[in-house]
Amino acid sequence: MGVVEAVISVTAMTLLGWTISPSSAHPGWGSPWGGGSSGLLPEYYMYTCPQVNDIVLSVLERAFETEPRIAASLLRLHFHDCFVQGCDASVLLDDSPMIGSEKKAGPNLNSLRGFEVIDEIKAKLEEICPETVSCADILALAARGSTVLSGGPNWELPLGRRDSRTASISIANRDIPPPNGTIQNLVTLFQRQGLDEVDLVALSGGHTIGMARCVTFKQRLYNQNGNNQPDSTLERGYYQELKTVCPPSGGDNYISPLDLASPVRFDNTYYKLILWGKGLLTSDEVLLTGRLSTTMELVRAYAEDEGLFFQQFARSMIKMGSIKPLIGFNGEVRRNCRRVN
Ligand code: HEM
């Protein structure tokens, strides 16, 4: 089979919902279409829902105008989806007799946002291309659109994920990295997903937008190492400022920007702030102070060169978005993202 026939046949098979497993693929397949060996393809909806990206963007743009933070919330939603059972929209399922919702897991409870925007996108898509676009793909498209609307990079996005019929609170609790993680901790949790140290540093750059609650970084202000002392890597002025936002007791849900210089702008100031001791979470600052030379050097490189950060962020988002997708006959395309069909 020639390359052209291979493209046609792989596209047709995908459109028909057949399983294209990396093992059955011709050697070297995948990379020209940007999907790696995941079985995903940028052209997946070319015939079945060509307007999919325009519809996602039109809803996003309106939501973003009202509240720019929504971009950050949607970017994070895709991350929390992909780290639990793969990118299968398991994070969107509500509690039901068969489902223990991941929304109740520690890292997600009172924290994840943006579900209503996903509902709105899904409702529009069901009107125009019914039972076609999966919730997992909507999350991936919303994450990319949010990055672009905030001023960040664009990328060709492999599609064709299907939705899970299950969710897992226990995996969410185990595999989503904690804000007070050590560098080793973070590296291990990323490795578990097939992501390396470059992906860790680049994807952490998602913290160039959005907010965090006091409960996620308060320990750094009052008791970092169990000796009632602040985190010594925290810059002094920033430390004083954060104390005015987060009191020693109470105020757990007060919020502070992850990138205090430009909280709604997707840029490389996140890395510059880390160099100045102004990373908000322990997990941000340890990329520099964790004594791992790879991550340290990457923080410096991205702080210096925004283009380099953008390029790697796009690559790592494609990689994260390709974690264990359900394809072919696996899973389903949910009609409502909150429940299985
Ligand atoms: C490296 C490990 C990571 C840790 C420990 C971590 C932890 C956190 C925490 C604790 C928050 C604040 C949540 C809250 O207060 O409710 C947060 C927010 C956020 N995270 Fe991460 N995160 C990590 C990686 C990522 C990745 C890979 C992305 C996306 C590519 C991401 C995107 C975001 C965004 C955009 C927000 C702000 C959300 C909003 O404002 O609603 N994070 N993260």
- Residue 318 Cβ contacting ligand 1 at under 6 Å: no
Average pLDDT over residues 170-191: 97
- Residue 142 Cβ contacting ligand 1 at under 6 Å: no
> d(Cα 159, Cα 25) in Å, to the nearest integer?
17
User: What one-letter code names the amino acid at 299?
Assistant: V
pLDDT at 27 over 50: no
Q: pLDDT tens for residues 273-313?
A: 999 999 999 999 999 999 999 999 999 999 999 999 999 99
pLDDT of 37 = 76
| Domain assignment present for 139 | no
Which element (helix H / strand E) includes 256? Answer: strand 255-257
pLDDT of 44 = 98
| Domain assignment present for 150 | no
pLDDT of 17 = 31
Residue 96 has what DSSP assignment? -
Residues pairing with 140 in the sheet: none
Q: pLDDT tens for residues 69-86?
A: 999 999 999 999 999 999
The rounded percent of the chain whose pLDDT value lies above 90 is: 89
Average pLDDT over residues 148-155: 98
- Residue 76 Cβ contacting ligand 1 at under 6 Å: yes
pLDDT at 30 over 90: no
Q: What confidence category does residue 38 fall into, taking pLDDT thresholds of 50, 70 and 90?
A: confident
pLDDT of 36 = 59
| Domain assignment present for 221 | yes
Q: pLDDT tens for residues 115-148?
A: 999 999 999 999 999 999 999 999 999 999 999 9
| Domain assignment present for 11 | no
Q: Tell me, what CATH number does 251's domain have?
A: 1.10.420.10
Domain count, the chain: 1
pLDDT of 19 = 25
What number does the ligand 1 atom closest to the CA of 114 have?
41
What number does the ligand 1 atom closest to the CA of 211 have?
40
| Domain assignment present for 166 | no
pLDDT of 29 = 35
For 272-306, b/e burial (b = at least 16 CB within 10 A) is bbbeebbbbbbbbbbbbbbebeebbebbeebbeeb
pLDDT of 240 = 97
> d(Cα 201, Cα 206) in Å, to the nearest integer?
10
Contacts of 300 by beta carbon, 8 Å cutoff, 6+ apart: 271, 275
- Residue 257 Cβ contacting ligand 1 at under 6 Å: no
> d(Cα 287, Cα 303) in Å, to the nearest integer?
12
The rounded percent of the chain whose pLDDT value lies above 70 is: 89
Centre of ligand 1 to C-alpha 26, Å, is 38
Q: How confident is the prediction for the chain on average, in pLDDT?
A: 91
For tokens 């919730």, the residue is 135
What the block records as the tokens of 182 is 């050590």
What the block records as the tokens of 135 is 């919730």
pLDDT at 113 over 80: yes
pLDDT at 6 over 80: no
Average pLDDT over residues 52-56: 98
Centre of ligand 1 to C-alpha 249, Å, is 23
> d(Cα 239, Cα 246) in Å, to the nearest integer?
10
Strands (E) across the chain are located at 211-213, 255-257
| Domain assignment present for 248 | yes
| Centroid of chain to Cα 195 | 13
Range of the structural domain that residue 282 is part of: 183-319
pLDDT of 269 = 98
Centre of ligand 1 to C-alpha 2, Å, is 44
Q: What confidence category does residue 9 fall into, taking pLDDT thresholds of 50, 70 and 90?
A: very low
| Centroid of chain to Cα 331 | 21
CA nearest ligand 1 atom 13, residue: 212
> d(Cα 188, Cα 197) in Å, to the nearest integer?
9
> d(Cα 25, Cα 154) in Å, to the nearest integer?
28
| Domain assignment present for 56 | no
User: What one-letter code names the amino acid at 260?
Assistant: L
pLDDT at 265 over 60: yes
For 54-90, b/e burial (b = at least 16 CB within 10 A) is ebbbebbeebbeeebbbbbbbbbbbbbbbbbbbbbbb
What the block records as the tokens of 68 is 């720019």
| Domain assignment present for 90 | no
Average pLDDT over residues 210-225: 97
Give the residue numbers annotated as catalytic, written as ranges: 80
pLDDT of 4 = 34
Centre of ligand 1 to C-alpha 139, Å, is 15
- Residue 212 Cβ contacting ligand 1 at under 6 Å: yes
Residue with the larger pLDDT of the pair 36 and 199:
199
